[in-house]
Amino acid sequence: MELYLQFGHGMMGLSKELVREWGGGSVILSPRDLNDEQLQRQANNINQLSGGRVLLDPQFYLPRADHFRLVAHSFWPADYSTGGFFGGPALWKLVSDLKTLNDSLNTSFAILPGLLAPRISDDWLATQDAILEASRNADFGRPLCQTIALSADACRAEDQVAMLLEHTESMKADAYYLVCEHPKGTYLVDDPSWLANLLDMVAGLRLSGGKVIIGYCNHQMLIGAVAKANAIASGTWLNVRSFPPSKFNNQDEEKRKATWYYAPHALSEYKVVFLDIARRVGVLDLLRPLDGAEPSATALFAGGQPSTIDLSEPDSFRHYLTSLKKQVEGSLQATFDATVSAHQSLLDTAESILTTVREQRISGQLRDFSDALPANRAALAAILATRGPILRREWNTL
């Protein structure tokens, strides 16, 4: 499993730096955050780095979205009518324009436009088919990656997920870009059905022969390794670490400024001032970074009061993404069972740390993983029971 960089606010320079330092990597570009010229420049910058690759997320989730930068792009349809769009020249124009843009950006995969499904219905599936068919006809000259964008309710419904997977057997893409809205808009998901279904989709799509990129992820999606996801994509702010469809409408840009430190062993994030208390009560070391972490993160644990260290927002993002990359790289093991064990171990370690630090009233607030632990464990149990035997058998062929 790889970590892709999900472009968002604050990612312009950081993505270049990280791809350079990592010796390669994929960046999913965001038309919402970059105008035409910036898209091109960013793509050029990444592509010229060794191992650098770009993809373009067309972000056509809500065709009536009104985010000023998004709708200003040349590929965005000036007019959208539900009835005729997917059966006529408007779809062809959208697909053709995206092909031109993908050519220009020299993308490694072509992520196809896909509507956000409030529920998975025959109509929505027909739309998916129409987009895939039109894209095949447009001859992108690169693998086609179908967007599967689901509302929280759709992702929670097992029968709808089963319907999607059944349908995909007869209409296969080369790859899938899976984007699922979090239930109740939370950052970390405590709903086991949502998570179990998402894993089930990843496994089903992988077993059908496609690659799977899970978009808009945070570290909770390290669990994607047990379904052998090819990549998870994450970024800087919360609105690229989970999928809030509302971000594609005009609204205030991210203005809440707080610096968070990601404690990778605890799978939780803390405001730096809470690290002060952790130090005072003697549990700071439990929240230490991984070996070889960013100097700015390591400095928090050098012995002084953590809040006296200037952990800037860019430092915080960089620390998060470099830590997550290491965790992603360690998540996939040689066998299915070893991968499950590795994730269980990750959860066990986090639980042990969280129990200790919470006893001291140190909390990651909404970024504290405690409530997400049962969901991850239940999702693991579900995939073991349903897909386990086949994944165990097919692991090395995926």
Q: Check if the beta carbon of residue 235 is closer than 8 Å to that of residue 7.
A: yes
Instruction: Examine residue 103 and tell whether it contacts other proteins (CB under 8 A).
Output: no
Nearer to other proteins, 17 or 166 (CB): 166
Query: Exposed (0-12), middle (13-18) or buried (19+): which is 38, by Cβ within 10 Å?
Result: middle
Q: Which stretch binds other proteins (CB under 8 A): 92-100, 123-131, 158-166, 250-258?
A: 158-166
Q: In the chain, at which residue ranges do the beta strands (DSSP E only) sit?
A: 2-6, 25-29, 52-56, 110-111, 116-117, 144-150, 175-180, 211-214, 231-234, 260-263, 268-271
Q: Nearest distance from residue 158's CB to other proteins, in Å?
A: 8
- Closer CB to other proteins, 57 or 200, in the complex: 200
Q: Taking CB under 8 A as the rule, which mask of x and - marks residues 182-221 in contact with other proteins? A: ----------------------x-----------------
Contact present, 206 and 388 (Cβ < 8 Å): no
- Residue 54 CB, nearest distance to other proteins (Å)? 33
Measured in degrees and rounded to the nearest 5, phi and psi for residue 394 equal -95, 0
**Cα separation of 231 and 25, whole Å?**
11
Question: Would you list the DSSP string of 203-226?
Answer: HHHHHTT-EEEE-S--GGGGGGGG
Greatest CA separation for the chain: 66
Indicate the helix (H) or strand (E) that contains 351. helix 336-359
Residue 393 within binding range of other proteins, rule CB under 8 A: yes
Q: Does 341 bind other proteins (CB under 8 A)?
A: no
**Which spans in 106-173 are helix H?**
122-138, 152-156, 158-170
Which residue in 169, 253, 348, 359 binds other proteins (CB under 8 A)? 169
Residues of span 259-298 touching other proteins by CB under 8 A: none
First to last CA, the chain: 11
From the CB of 346, what's the least distance to other proteins, in Å?
Answer: 25
The Cα–Cα gap between 41 and 45 comes to 6
In eight-state DSSP terms, residue 247 is G
Question: Least distance in Å: CB of 3 to other proteins?
Answer: 29
Smallest distance from the beta carbon of 352 to other proteins, in angstroms?
A: 29
Q: What are 108's strand-pairing partners?
A: none
- Contact segment (CB under 8 A) with other proteins among 2-10, 99-107, 186-194, 387-395 equals 387-395
Question: Tokens 């000023």 — which residue?
Answer: 68
Report the nearest approach of other proteins to the CB of residue 97 (Å).
35
Name which position in 16, 32, 241, 387 contacts other proteins (CB under 8 A): 387
Nearest to 76 by CA among 54, 55, 103, 95: 95
Pick 133 or 158: Cβ nearer other proteins: 158
| 114 sits near other proteins (criterion: CB under 8 A) | no
Residue with Cβ nearer other proteins (290 or 391): 391
Per CB under 8 A, which region of 163-171, 234-242, 262-270, 346-354 contacts other proteins? 163-171
The yes or no reply on residue 133 touching other proteins (CB under 8 A) is no
Write the binding mask 78 to 97 for other proteins: x where contact by CB under 8 A, - elsewhere.
Answer: --------------------
- Any contact of residue 378 with other proteins (CB under 8 A)? no
Q: Are 113 and 58 a contacting pair, CB within 8 Å? A: yes
For residue 221, the minimal CB distance to other proteins (Å) is 22
Cβ distance 151 to 119 under 8 Å? yes
Partners of 268 in the β-ladder: 263
The site for other proteins (CB under 8 A) is made up of 162, 165-166, 169, 204, 385-390, 392-393
